[in-house]
Chains A and B, each alone.
Chain A
Amino acid sequence: MDPSQLRFILEELRFSAMLPAEVLDQLAAASTIKQIPAGTVIFREGGTNDNLYLIRDGRLALEMSVPGRGAVRILTLGAGEMVGWSALLDEGKMTASAIAVEDSEVVVAEAEKLRQLCRANRDFGYHLMEQMAAALSKRLVATRLQLLDLFAASPTPVPDRTSESEA
């Protein structure tokens, strides 16, 4: 795809919308666009993966496998969100599997290229990592909220304190 077209796409994505122009150019140059049919496994937990993905359209799911429970879907991600941070930060050792829930379109950036860009251009590195950190912090907060299990019913009924009852 034409890098200028890619740049235009990146400008529209929540993850990259705030990046300065030259960073966007560089990112666009390091990226391609890809169609992923529903059901495609993009990478597997424990496996390696060389790319960072930004979802343009469609929905991806992250799954972790738990013995006895099989693949547990942890999170679904949609347009504007980033998938595959381990490729960039964790030397490509993936912590979850990513599967396309529906036909999706993703921007694919090669992690090694991004690392090289980061090393070569601290400014690029700063801006990319800032977006990475912001995305990850949101995901961390979301995970915490998930962890709080806010919508769980009380495990056992507790006495109402709305009134003291007495025989």
Chain B
Amino acid sequence: MSSSYVAPLPDPRLATDPWRASTVAIRAVRPEVEGVSTYDLAFQDEAVRASYRFAPGQFNMLYLPGAGEIAISISDDPRNTATCAHTIRVAGNVTRTLAGMKVGDTLGLRGPFGTSWPLAECIGRDVVLVTGGIGLAPIRPAICALLHQRRQFGRLNLLYGARSPDTLLYAREYDDWSERGLIVHTTVDRSALGWMGNVGVVTLLLERLRSFDPRNTVLFCCGPEVMMRFTVLTALNRGMSPEQIWISMERNMQCAVGLCGHCQLGPDFICKDGPVFRYDRIAPFLDVEGL
């Protein structure tokens, strides 16, 4: 496994002051689906750009002065060093402000932060990626990494659920992914005229997955918490063990470095101990309401 996919040490400049952002400029904005766009961000400072590395599953803090700061998972190919893509849904004031910005505008970026998908664990094994809605965005770097070194892995399945056919993210890339050896299964909760694909919740895809060897599979899951809970349940029912399951959690990440307290879940800070957790570590705290 290439070392570039291991979570790198933070940029020493950032490490000296975790609150200090670097300037990034919007290089491109690609509308994905209604209310969701991908922003390619490029560091203004060459030195920062040169040293910036992230691992699939990590996130950045994007800072829009005056509006605020939000945690956004990175959705780029980790080998891409020119720009860094973030797929963002308009959900609040910061993302709405971002949606009003254009190519060339600048903002602040701190990162990368957090843990990453355990790609090294996947070598020689099958990988199932279960994801829903915008949850595909943090999985995309993992897809890029898996496909880049396709031969190192067994069967690769992506099970992706969206609300409706027109909200399937990155649809233009599925053919490419398939050609390169990722089996893409999609399903929607709300069908539409002309949709010949699956209808029903994404956990059903896992239920139906054939050629599934529960003891030799690693499962990555990213999506709403309820979806992840039932995905895990299905995976366990199908014979997987908790140590093979990895999920990406979300909480109110603010400082991103474990200093502000907002994103705690049980003994973990989602920002620094996560967002990617092995399921058995987080399991005792996942089902406790209001923890």
Most buried by A among B198, B227, B252: B198
Give the residue of A59, A138, A165 whose beta carbon is less than 8 angstroms from that of B68. A165
Of the listed residues A72, A146, A148, A152, the one surrounded by the most CB atoms of chain B closer than 10 A to its CB is A146
B70 & A162 in contact (Cβ 8 Å cutoff): yes
Instruction: Say yes or no for B35: interface residue by CB 8 A criterion.
Output: yes
Name the distance in Å between B183's Cβ and chain A's nearest Cβ: 14
Which chain B residues have a beta carbon within 8 Å of chain A's beta carbons? 34-35, 66-71, 89-96, 132-134, 161-163, 167, 187, 189, 191, 193, 195-201, 203-204, 207-208, 210, 223-224, 226-227, 230, 252-254
A65-112 interface (Cβ within 8 A of B): 70, 72-81, 101
- Interface contact tally, CB-CB below 8 A: 103
Complex Cα gap A61–B187 (Å): 12
Contact B91 A76 (CB under 8 A): no
In the bound assembly, the distance between CA atoms of A79 and B230 in angstroms comes to: 21
Q: Which one of A72, A78, A158 lies within 8 Å of B91 (CB-CB)?
A: A158
A25 to B227, alpha carbons, bound, how many Å? 38
Q: Which residues of B contact A159 (CB under 8 A)?
A: 92-93
Q: Which 10 A-B pairs have the closest CB atoms?
A: A151-B133, A160-B92, A163-B68, A73-B191, A151-B163, A145-B201, A150-B224, A76-B198, A75-B200, A142-B201
Q: When chains A and B are docked, how far (Å) is the Cα of A64 from the Cα of B172?
A: 30
Residues of A within 8 A of B (CB): 14, 59, 61, 70, 72-81, 101, 138, 141-143, 145-146, 148-154, 157-163, 165
A162 to B91, CA, bound (A): 12
**C-alpha spacing A158/B89, complex, angstroms:** 12
Select which of B96, B134, B161, B199 is within 8 A of A76 by beta carbon. B199
Apart from A151-B167, A153-B34, A158-B92, list 13 A-B contacts with CB within 8 A: A76-B187, A145-B230, A148-B226, A149-B163, A151-B163, A151-B189, A151-B223, A154-B91, A157-B91, A158-B91, A160-B94, A162-B70, A165-B68
- Nearest B residue to A73 via CB reads B191
How far, in whole Å, are A59 and B66 apart by their CA atoms in the complex?
52
